[in-house]
Amino acid sequence: MEGLVSSGINPVRVFPYKKHQSLFVPSSTLHLKNRNNVASGIGVEIVKHSSPMVVVAAASSVGGAKVGHFENTVPSKDTLDLWRKCSAVCFDVDSTVCLDEGIDELAEFCGAGKAVAEWTARAMGGSVPFEEALSARLKLFNPSLSQLQSFLEQRPPRLSPGIQELVQKLKANHMEVYLISGGFRQMINPVASILGIPKENIFANQLLFGSSGEFLGFDANEPTSRSGGKATAVQQLRKAHGYNALAMIGDGATDLEARRPGGADLFICYAGVQLREAVARKADWLVFNFEDLINSLK
């Protein structure tokens, strides 16, 4: 938390955003806790879906922190038209598709949660180069292959409410769906499987292990392993497939970076888990639930 405050991002983990009024559906505010229930004054019910690999958090509506007023919670006509004509949609994974920051969860599982979470806050706020933060975080706990495997078995992905329905809607509208993450491919593969997203549509980092399962590091050749990597991945997609319009959906500074010439045309900030005000204010559209996006599509 200190990392976020020092970087000027001012995160809000739990909040009621009563001023938000959707054009499409009544506002629904998410109030979420992580696995350790660190957020205060809130109740969360964990609901298991039919798939054994997915857990979705259902949130209760209680009091929380105040946030500033945003002018971009209702999309402009141009933004809405652009969203509807997208050929491809790219999603961040941590705190967007999933409720948690994957590296923080793995670090907590390995006994180094607090120290790693502080680095994650700084990385997402954009106050340090992403590659520096990634390397520093991993060095704090050096996860072994056996630890990673145990983590994946004991901690199934927790998907954000509405993400499965949104992905289905996008596919029904003939939009290609990608996952672009600074997290780890080994942890994202199960998420992609649940959502029906092919592995070739994943851009993420790769943890490397030795013959005895010892941690060696990460693949520095992955574009998402460094600052500006998500933007690079989106530009590669655009060039390879010639998409006429492409949207990036996420919560952090690295997602915002993807909106650039030759990259994403549209940046939608999803603040249903983490609200990073500096990022949210620069978004083309700020949403607090995926229902808004689902119901905006024809």
Residues classed as catalytic: 92, 94
CA dist., res. 260 & res. 235, Å (int): 9
Nearest to 252 by CA among 53, 34, 9: 9
Pairing state between β 246-250 and 285-287: unpaired
In whole angstroms, how large is the CA radius of gyration of the chain?
A: 18
The three-class DSSP label of residue 273 is coil
CA dist., res. 70 & res. 74, Å (int): 9
Q: Which conformational region is residue 103 in: left (phi greater than 0), alpha (psi within -120 to 50 degrees), or beta?
A: alpha
Q: What are phi and psi of 54, to 5 degrees?
A: -130, 135
Q: What are phi and psi of 240, to 5 degrees?
A: -70, -35
Strand partners, 45: 58
* CA 297 to centroid of chain Cα atoms: 21
CA dist., res. 8 & res. 71, Å (int): 20
- DSSP-derived secondary structure letter, 42: -
